[in-house]
Amino acid sequence: MKLTKEQIQELYQFVAAKGVKHYDLQTELVDHLANGIEEYWKIHPEKSFEEVKAQEFQKFGAAGFSDVIKKHDDALSKKYKKIISGFFMEYFKLPKIIGTITSIAIIFYCLRFLAREPFVTSIFTVMVFFFIIAATHVLSTLNNKIIYKRKVKKSGKQWKLEDMIFHSYIGYEKQQRSTKRKIFDFIIIIIPVTIGTLIDDVSSSIVPPFIYNHYWVQLVIATTIVLVSILTYIHIIVVPEKAEELLTETYPEYELLK
């Protein structure tokens, strides 16, 4: 006995009601449940759909779909990180490595020039670099979220990898941060800027100018700024622009259902 289209749709609703919100995992679980139900009906055709569905769900244990969701998230998290790493490594191959080295050199010489200025000015300038990167990431991420919400509203489907892409995903747990954690992160970012701007003597005693003005320290700072900028650019621009291609490669049915 085969399941009807109505029963398949009911399985989708059942899986969604159990906390599975992404269509790709919903489809995997629906296929699993449907196969189990149809196999069971070969032996016990007298059993109702609801009874067999409940029996098949019980096989997942007391945690329900929780373990499956975690494994699915972990697998796609690794895939997403691999995608980011692939794009990132392109900036260390020709021709992009030329731009990477040039950018590091420009920022390095800017820092060398600032070394002639008061120490607090140099520190504040470095903080401004990182603040601009952070602000750009936040604003672009918000814009990507708006675009994603419109897509989900139009299609009625959420795909896990697409969710990661349009939320500038770095780690699943980071998306679930509490308000307190976000406030804490903001304070951690703003404190160095405040110290560097207002307390010249104290900042100078914590990080002596001769250390900051050292050739290698400035090279490390310049390299860090460029690498963080590249990663930010990949997360908020490159990957979202490649979303259709990446999703089609990952989900063969995506092109038909989008």
| Half-sphere exposure for 84 (CA within 13 Å, toward CB) | 23
Taking the domains of the chain in order of start, what are their residue ranges?
A: 5-64, 76-257
* Two tokens, residue 92: 């260390």
Nearest partner of 124 among 76, 185, 193, judged by Cα:
193
* Two tokens, residue 132: 């601009």
The model carries a pTM of 0.76
Q: What percent of the chain has pLDDT over 70?
A: 77
Neighbours of 111 (CB within 10 A): 22
pLDDT tens-digit series, residues 76-133: 999 999 999 999 999 999 999 999 999 999 988 887 777 665 555 666 777 777 788 7
Question: By mean pLDDT, which of 35-49, 125-139, 146-160, 219-233 is the weakest?
Answer: 125-139
Q: Which residue has the higher pLDDT, 26 or 183?
A: 26
Q: What is the mean pLDDT of residues 196-224?
A: 60
| Half-sphere exposure for 31 (CA within 13 Å, toward CB) | 6
* Two tokens, residue 218: 């400035």
Amino acid at 26: Q
Dist CA 100 CA 223 (whole Å): 9
Dist CA 148 CA 154 (whole Å): 10
Mean pLDDT of the chain: 82
Tokens 């609703």 belong to which residue?
13
Output the pLDDT for position 212.
Answer: 53
Output the pLDDT for position 238.
Answer: 94
pLDDT tens-digit series, residues 188-201: 444 444 444 444 44
Output the pLDDT for position 145.
Answer: 87
Nearest partner of 67 among 16, 11, 8, 20, judged by Cα:
20
* Two tokens, residue 222: 């310049």
Above 90 in pLDDT, residue 253?
no
Nearest partner of 130 among 194, 208, 193, 195, judged by Cα:
193
Query: Three-state SS for 176?
Result: coil
Dist CA 243 CA 222 (whole Å): 30
Dist CA 224 CA 219 (whole Å): 9
Output the pLDDT for position 195.
Answer: 46
Output the pLDDT for position 194.
Answer: 47
Angle of helix 66-89 relative to helix 215-233, nearest 10 degrees, comes to 120
The number of helix segments (H) and strand segments (E) in the chain equals 15, 0
Q: Are 5 and 140 in contact (CB under 8 A)?
A: no
Q: Rg of the chain over CA atoms, in angstroms?
A: 25
Output the pLDDT for position 136.
Answer: 83
